[in-house]
């Protein structure tokens, strides 16, 4: 639970690097002098890191490299989150390849590299904590990278109310996203005490789980000198500055205090075992809250944006067939292996058979998997970055995300559709805080036509779980988390009339 916010933020940063306008050379293809830009990274008004962007033409290739580092505090302990994105294109903006490194210090490092072949296929090699994974996929039609997008934007110009729409490839999720940038008016912008007239450009990156809004302030060459992106109820700012200012010491920002949510009441074990009705209000008029709506949790939103979540115990239907033979499209997708949920690997299959034993129905098998993972992961530490199910099976260590990806993988391996759920879970104590909801990952499994909650990291799944998104634990689900966590408060938690 304690590291989920940092893990989410690391992936979110790598995604937003493709949303924030990144400069690359001059407008004319024949004029591409190398350039370096330093920026201070601010969060809630505090300097927490820096960004260094470089561009050059080398051996006929346009190389755009953006490195961002942030140091945050989690309960008094410092954690450094760093992303390094290198995009390789032709001088006229044709994509050739990329590399992405997400480094979370003691929590580990993920390196992804991609090369586009002459056949238009993207060959991907990903190294996760020393384990290598390869895959091939088509390059998304019309997808651009930073240099190509910059060329398009400069051709369009900075006429107010002009909207520039492009398809941008995101190395973090290996997907193309629609990015729309709308040009605003020139305005005076404060660059850490230096006042400059710049053009406002509002950008929206659309994904299946929602959208990321960003605002950039660019000069006449479309070079962003200030960019603002909301995340986890806070404001991340990148501000152009000198190298000395960018590399100066950082201030301390306690991430945990920003993402935990106080409960209006202490919840007893009895209350957590029954139906609970949550009244939730956004803390910002522009917040767009999204919650998962399924058998465990129903969502109703009023005109004033007040949301009512009814979270109820949903026992798994007995005698549901094992393996799943239905036709629900979401359930069928939740049976497939993925980069983090390698349910087709022999190690995972062997472990799954050991976990379920002689179980003949899906409910019994899922319950056994939940208990098995809870005891199988021996080292409940916070040093794991974001391991895959296969890595967890071999290391037997990690926190809630590692429990969740292994649980999903074992379920899928025996034919139970399962997803990783990301949200908030209630705990009586968390560091110095009492009666709070903290970021957490668990699972839901499709059994007998219903999505049923599983939690192998905590003692049990109960109605103190507020679900925001589900999937494989990465990708678009993370975008929903950063857009929702920190942007609402719980007004009341009640037991509905008639419930004991």
Same domain, yes or no: 146 and 234: yes
pLDDT at 398: 81
* Structural contact between residues 484 and 468, judged by C-beta atoms closer than 8 angstroms: yes
Residue 446 preceded by cis peptide, ω within 30: no
Residue 387 belongs to some domain of the structure:
yes
How does pLDDT run across 337-352, given as a tens digit for each residue? 987 899 999 999 999 9
Which residue from 188, 220, 214 is spatially nearest to 201, judged by alpha carbons? 214
Residue 499 belongs to some domain of the structure:
no
- Distance, CA of 54 to CA of 39 (rounded, Å): 12
Same domain, yes or no: 341 and 192: no
pLDDT at 378: 85
Same domain, yes or no: 339 and 454: yes
Regions of the chain where pLDDT drops below 50: 21-30, 383-384
Residue 27 belongs to some domain of the structure:
yes
Same domain, yes or no: 18 and 161: yes
Quick one: how far is CA 463 from the chain centroid? 24
Residue 181 belongs to some domain of the structure:
yes
pLDDT at 32: 62
CATH number at residue 405: 3.10.620.30
Pairing of strands 46-58, 109-116: unpaired
* Structural contact between residues 43 and 50, judged by C-beta atoms closer than 8 angstroms: no
Q: Which of 211, 231, 256 corresponds to the end of one domain?
A: 256
Residue 120 belongs to some domain of the structure:
yes
Same domain, yes or no: 239 and 319: no
Cα torsion at 66, 213, 436, 495 (round to 10°)? -150
Same domain, yes or no: 37 and 101: yes
- The tally of domains found in the chain comes to 2
Same domain, yes or no: 67 and 208: yes
Residue 411 belongs to some domain of the structure:
yes
Same domain, yes or no: 191 and 298: no
pLDDT at 29: 40
Mean pLDDT across the chain, nearest whole number? 86
- The parent domain of residue 272 ranges over 260-494
**Encoded tokens for 235:** 């404001």
Same domain, yes or no: 303 and 446: yes
Residue 281 belongs to some domain of the structure:
yes
Same domain, yes or no: 30 and 81: yes
Same domain, yes or no: 74 and 204: yes
With a CB cutoff of 8 Å and minimum separation 6, the contacts of 48 are: 41, 42, 70, 71, 72, 250, 251, 253
Residue 370 belongs to some domain of the structure:
yes
3-state helix, strand, coil in the chain (%, to 5): 20, 45, 35
Same domain, yes or no: 276 and 233: no
pTM over 0.75: yes
Q: Which of 213, 229, 256 corresponds to the end of one domain?
A: 256
Q: Which of 192, 221, 256 corresponds to the end of one domain?
A: 256
């Amino acid at each position: 639970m304690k590291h989920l916010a940092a893990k989410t933020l690391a992936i979110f940063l790598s995604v937003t690097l493709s949303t924030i306008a990144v400069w690359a050379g001059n407008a004319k293809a024949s004029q591409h002098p190398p350039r370096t830009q330093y920026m201070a990274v601010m969060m809630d008004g505090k300097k927490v890191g820096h960004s260094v962007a470089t561009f050059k033409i080398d051996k006929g290739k346009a190389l755009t490299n953006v490195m961002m580092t942030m140091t945050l505090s989690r309960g008094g302990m410092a954690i450094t989150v760093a992303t390094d994105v290198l995009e390789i294109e032709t001088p006229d903006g044709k994509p050739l390849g990329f590399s992405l490194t997400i480094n979370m210090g003691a929590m580990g490092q993920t390196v992804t590299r991609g090369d586009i072949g002459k056949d238009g296929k993207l060959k991907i090699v990903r190294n996760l904590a020393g384990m290598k994974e390869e895959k091939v996929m088509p390059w998304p039609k019309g997808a651009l990278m930073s240099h190509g997008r910059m060329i398009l934007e400069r051709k369009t110009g900075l006429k107010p109310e002009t909207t520039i729409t492009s398809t941008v490839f995101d190395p973090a999720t290996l997907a193309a996203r629609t990015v729309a940038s709308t040009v605003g008016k020139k305005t005076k912008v404060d660059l850490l005490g230096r006042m400059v007239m710049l053009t406002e450009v509002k950008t929206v990156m659309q994904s299946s789980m929602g959208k990321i809004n960003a605002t950039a302030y660019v000069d006449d060459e479309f070079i962003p000198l200030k960019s603002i992106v909301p995340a986890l109820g806070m404001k991340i700012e990148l501000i152009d500055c000198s190298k000395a200012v960018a590399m100066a010491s950082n201030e301390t920002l306690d991430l945990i205090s920003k993402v935990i949510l106080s409960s209006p009441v202490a919840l007893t074990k009895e209350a957590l075992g029954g139906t609970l009705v949550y009244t939730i209000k956004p803390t910002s008029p522009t917040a767009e809250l999204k919650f998962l709506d399924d058998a465990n949790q129903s969502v109703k939103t009023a005109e004033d944006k007040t949301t009512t979540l009814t979270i109820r115990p949903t026992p798994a239907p007995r005698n549901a067939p094992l393996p799943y033979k239905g036709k629900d499209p979401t359930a069928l997708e939740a049976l497939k292996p993925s980069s983090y949920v390698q349910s087709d690997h022999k190690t995972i299959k062997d472990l799954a058979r050991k976990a379920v034993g002689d179980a003949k129905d899906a409910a019994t098998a899922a319950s056994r998997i939940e208990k098995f993972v809870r005891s199988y992961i021996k080292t409940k530490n916070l040093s794991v970055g974001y391991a895959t199910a296969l890595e967890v099976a071999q290391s037997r260590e990690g926190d809630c995300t590692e429990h969740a990806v292994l649980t999903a993988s074992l379920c899928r391996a025996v034919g139970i559709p399962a997803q990783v759920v990301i949200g908030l879970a209630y705990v009586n104590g968390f560091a110095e805080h009492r009666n709070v909801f903290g970021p957490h990952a668990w699972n839901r499994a499709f059994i007998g036509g219903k999505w049923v909650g599983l939690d192998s990291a905590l003692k049990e799944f109960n109605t103190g779980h507020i679900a925001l998104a589900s999937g494989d634990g990465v990708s678009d689900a993370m975008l929903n988390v950063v857009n929702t966590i920190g942007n609402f408060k719980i007004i009341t938690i009640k037991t509905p009339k008639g419930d004991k």
